[in-house]
Amino acid sequence: MKGLHDFISEDTNQFGPGTDLIVSLLSVLLVMTFTTAYLYNQERMKNDAWRKTEAGSNFRLASDFFTAADFYVRPVTKLVDPARTNERVRKILAEYERIENEYPYMFIIGHSNQLDDPSSSDKSESARRQRNWEYAARRATKIASLMEQDLDPVHKERLVVVTTGEFDLKEPRHPFSQANAWVEVVFAKEWKRPERITTE
């Protein structure tokens, strides 16, 4: 018959005390390693797919854009901080200079939210859309006019000013948000029919 001392001192684990703890810790470490490797591979595959998509795309977004906060409400083409806006224009043009061989065209796209001019006499939906189309176009035209000052005639021919008005909202769930009233710049490989592209 074993005494109390025998039960306390008995060690049936042939590898010594603490082995169970070490095995448990190694199991947790192994799971963490596999999880990290899986997440890393997933992220790498997403990045690779993004690079392939952009590499094969006809369009590339500029690294900067212009928000509603860059313009006064009235007139819509007046800049709040002209020096800051000009600095961002120069940044985009420097980016364009680096990639123009691949993306020779620049789309300056004006967007609008669904807010209306409270002083307008025609409150119909179609009239509001027409006004917002115009406001978005005027803001895009303002940015294009700043850009063309630093472009030669050949590059000026590659500027394309577009307005989407209230369509193509940045935040569709919040159609009145000021985030929807912005101007974006997109570099493009082409936009004219081949027969209309002038030789240089």
Query: Average pLDDT for residues 67-89, to the nearest whole number?
Result: 94
Question: Does residue 47 sit in the same domain as residue 65?
Answer: no
pLDDT value at 179 more than 60: yes
Question: Does residue 102 sit in the same domain as residue 33?
Answer: no
User: Please, what is the Cα angle at 62 between 175 and 107, to 5 degrees?
Assistant: 75
Question: Does residue 180 sit in the same domain as residue 104?
Answer: yes
pLDDT of residue 11: 54
Residues whose CB falls within 8 Å of the CB of residue 176, separated by 6 or more in sequence, listed in order? 113, 114, 115
Residue 8 lies in a domain: no
Q: Is residue 180 a contact partner of residue 113, using CB atoms and an 8 Å limit?
A: yes
pLDDT value at 116 more than 70: yes
Q: DSSP string covering 61-97, please?
A: E-S--B-GGGB-SSSTT-BS-HHHHHHHHHHHHHHHH
pLDDT value at 9 more than 70: no
Question: Does residue 124 sit in the same domain as residue 40?
Answer: no
Question: Does residue 132 sit in the same domain as residue 190?
Answer: yes
pLDDT in tens, 44-69: 676 666 555 555 688 999 999 999 99
pLDDT of residue 121: 92
Residue 139 lies in a domain: yes
CB-CB neighbours of 60 under 10 Å: 18
Q: What's the maximum distance between 2 C-alpha atoms anywhere in the chain?
A: 105
pLDDT value at 94 more than 50: yes
Question: Which residue type is seen at 174?
Answer: H
Question: Does residue 103 sit in the same domain as residue 119?
Answer: yes
The top-scoring range by mean pLDDT among 8-12, 14-18, 32-36, 171-175 is: 171-175
Pair of tokens at residue 89 = 């224009």
End-to-end CA distance of the chain: 104
Question: Does residue 165 sit in the same domain as residue 149?
Answer: yes
Residue 4 lies in a domain: no
Q: What is the CATH number of the domain that holds 79?
A: 3.30.1330.60
Query: Average pLDDT for residues 162-180, to the nearest whole number?
Result: 94
Question: Does residue 170 sit in the same domain as residue 82?
Answer: yes
Query: Average pLDDT for residues 101-123, to the nearest whole number?
Result: 94
pLDDT of residue 36: 65
Domain range for 29? 18-56
**Sequence-ordered strand ranges (E) for the chain:** 59-61, 105-111, 159-165, 183-188
pLDDT of residue 200: 47
Question: Does residue 87 sit in the same domain as residue 41?
Answer: no
Q: What is the C-alpha separation between 87 and 29, in angstroms, rounded?
A: 50
Question: Does residue 45 sit in the same domain as residue 100?
Answer: no
Rg (CA), the chain: 30
User: Over the range 14-39, which residues count as b (16 or more CB within 10 Å of their CB) and which as e?
Assistant: eeeeeeeeeeeeeeeeeeeeeeeeee
